[in-house]
Amino acid sequence: MARLVFRDFDEFADSIEGVAGRFIPTARSASEWWIEFVRPGSVHLQQLQIGSATTFAGDGEPDSYTFGLPMTDARHIRIDGHFLEPDAFIMLHEDQPFTFTGQDVVRWAGVSIPKESPLVAP
């Protein structure tokens, strides 16, 4: 996997596959903001680290389905104001607005699959 480290929050947000939106950091960065990715065929696999407490507002990216799995304690993450359960994950698709709030450094693993992929059943 290739790792990109970011200093700009907008550039970081634009580099995440499967979501479209913006971050508003709510504390100083405690760690690096980075994304590791690999693209086997049409599937996009990524792991990312959000380096501070932050809020994100956006929605699912057009023409794709995205599965997001917290790699840090999910109980410190809120989606649309609700804390996640320990074994929670998120599924996103286009025009599905959401807000994410992380209380500290958070890591996610993500898989984005284009809607026209043969991996997606009709």
Digit-coded pLDDT (tens) for 51-76: 999 999 999 999 899 999 999 999 99
Contact by Cβ (8 Å): 68, 90: yes
| Average pLDDT, 10 consecutive residues per value, the chain (122 residues) | 91 94 94 93 93 95 93 95 94 91 95 81 58
**The pLDDT of residue 69:** 97
How far apart CA 75 and CA 44 sit, in angstroms, is 26
Contact by Cβ (8 Å): 20, 61: yes
Contact by Cβ (8 Å): 64, 113: yes
**The pLDDT of residue 1:** 73
